Structure 1
């Protein structure tokens, strides 16, 4: 359940990644933001265009022929950079490409710091955000959120759990999480519980990117990490040196981030998700990365 606070694959660190920004006036009258060209763009794929849905696309998007999407590509396998260092890929990307295809639109993904994406959407820099955003009341006050997946928190440790980490008693341990996530909040609350009971605090190693969080536990800098379930389980699979600890908990839906004044477009995305579900492209996107366990069919705006 990534990123409830507002504030890559296991090559782990993406050296020299520039979080570039580009402007979009597709759904906004704001001027495009200054910045370098987007880090990646792609053509939507995933089944035939649905003419009925395509006819409902907002005029500005239809004129642009694309959706400009803000995303944080440090969250493998949801959003990550390909080997060329600029193309954004992952199941979240593949799935949204299938959704955009139903609307007859291309996609352009702009790498950005996670904490800047919602502001970029509300300010008109991006048409929307696709970056494993957990739906919560605070966000729904600022933007529309379209549910499309369900994820929870997964702890990960070194194989064999040599440090005997316990989820319910991690006091005195060095544990990692990504900044601005529900997992970082979870760690802080657990650490306070430790100190309130007279035990040592958890050493919270909070990193800006999830790739570094994963690198820390793989290298032994931390003895455990917390991440969204697909991210934690992907790290286990890719490294071969890590294992999940305990069960997934606190599952909640991910949501596409859409400007607050674009409710009709948000509802159109719900219909496009239903169309992708019906033709199999929804499941295909999840199965490609073995994350189909979190698939849903009750797509909705601000559930």
Structure 2
């Protein structure tokens, strides 16, 4: 039932229209259609030890002089997308992207700082307000026309069901099934299109259960109110890892795409420094360790590239 999918959005992670057009007022603790806080329980946020990551002189030497002299790498991120980047219980920026940023900074011999921003307004501010943008940006052709991107992670759409799959659910056979998802996401758009395909084939449409957050969708699948969770792969993996065995993955990751660190086009030296730092983290196993702590080592890539093919 998936042969005629709508064209994949430029990014899996989409800021709501209301946010994209709002004033530039970062809201660290606000919840939107594309956000949720998953740190309600003490075990929901891993502590990743980065003390073993040291500066690599031949890589740090690539950093532009202005940033080297400042000693700090400034990042812009929309802190509303757990587990990539969100707000911790003490108001700090946390998530695997924040740990990756800190690890990259260590390799480059720099401290790092993340400023909260409206997602749609990060890219225009990279190169002026921010040195980089690490905020789950999908690499796509439109963005590559405006900025340089350094690949570091891969994500897509993935699924989870109640442990043991008691309802015998298959991701490619969801006509008439209770599909739990977050409103305002690509998954909702895709499910609407697939539901129409079901009707065209004289089968029942998806019974879509749309929730304000992915955490609510996951909870209801674990509790049996939904048949299957459909979400971005980082979100699904994190939900499974924190579900205490009540959820399990099913099917393959679909519509996979690279995520990239955003750098201004006039900063090729910085882009190369970031690429080398990310590759160092991959080669030494630190990247896998960071991602595994957040339940997302499936997103590990073997090679970091500057401006990879989308």
Is TM more than 0.5 here?
yes
**Following TM superposition, by how much is the alpha carbon of 1:281 offset from its aligned partner in structure 2, in angstroms?**
2.8
SS in 1 for 2:135: coil
From 25, 49, 71, the counterpart of 2:55: 49
SS in 1 for 2:301: coil
Name whichever of 73-82 and 249-258 sits farther off: 73-82
Residue in structure 2 matched with residue 106 of structure 1 by the alignment: 111
Q: Structure 1 pair 244/65, CA: closer, same or farther in 2 (3 Å)?
A: same
Q: Structure 1 pair 208/263, CA: closer, same or farther in 2 (3 Å)?
A: farther
- 1:130-279 matches, cutoff 5 A: 130-178=134-182, 181-204=185-208, 209-218=213-222, 222-239=226-243, 240-279=245-284
Residue in structure 2 matched with residue 121 of structure 1 by the alignment: 123
Q: Work out whether residues 46 and 99 of structure 1, in 8 Å CA contact, stay in contact via their aligned partners in 2.
A: no
The one-character-per-residue Cα deviations of 1:78-111 (angstroms, maximum 9, x if unpaired) are: 3343342x22223332222111212222222234
Q: Distance in 2 between matches of 1:18 and 1:76?
A: 13
Q: Structure 1 pair 137/160, CA: closer, same or farther in 2 (3 Å)?
A: same
Q: Structure 1 pair 260/171, CA: closer, same or farther in 2 (3 Å)?
A: farther
**Following TM superposition, by how much is the alpha carbon of 1:300 offset from its aligned partner in structure 2, in angstroms?**
0.6
Residue in structure 1 matched with residue 3 of structure 2 by the alignment: none
Q: Distance in 2 between matches of 1:6 and 1:236?
A: 22
Corresponding position: 1:289 with 2:294: yes
Residue in structure 2 matched with residue 17 of structure 1 by the alignment: 29
Q: Distance in 2 between matches of 1:73 and 1:216?
A: 24
Q: Distance in 2 between matches of 1:87 and 1:75?
A: 14
Query: Which runs of 5 or more structure 1 residues have no equivalent in the other structure?
Result: 8-15, 20-43
Q: Work out whether residues 47 and 279 of structure 1, in 8 Å CA contact, stay in contact via their aligned partners in 2.
A: no
Q: Distance in 2 between matches of 1:107 and 1:206?
A: 37
Q: Work out whether residues 138 and 258 of structure 2, in 8 Å CA contact, stay in contact via their aligned partners in 1.
A: yes
The one-character-per-residue Cα deviations of 1:2-41 (angstroms, maximum 9, x if unpaired) are: 943655xxxxxxxx9248xxxxxxxxxxxxxxxxxxxxxx
Q: Distance in 1 between matches of 2:184 and 2:286?
A: 31
Q: Report how many aligned residue pairs link the two structures.
A: 268
Query: Which runs of 5 or more structure 2 residues have no equivalent in the other structure?
Result: 1-7, 16-27, 32-49
TM-score, normalised via structure 2 length: 0.70
Q: Distance in 2 between matches of 1:128 and 1:246?
A: 34
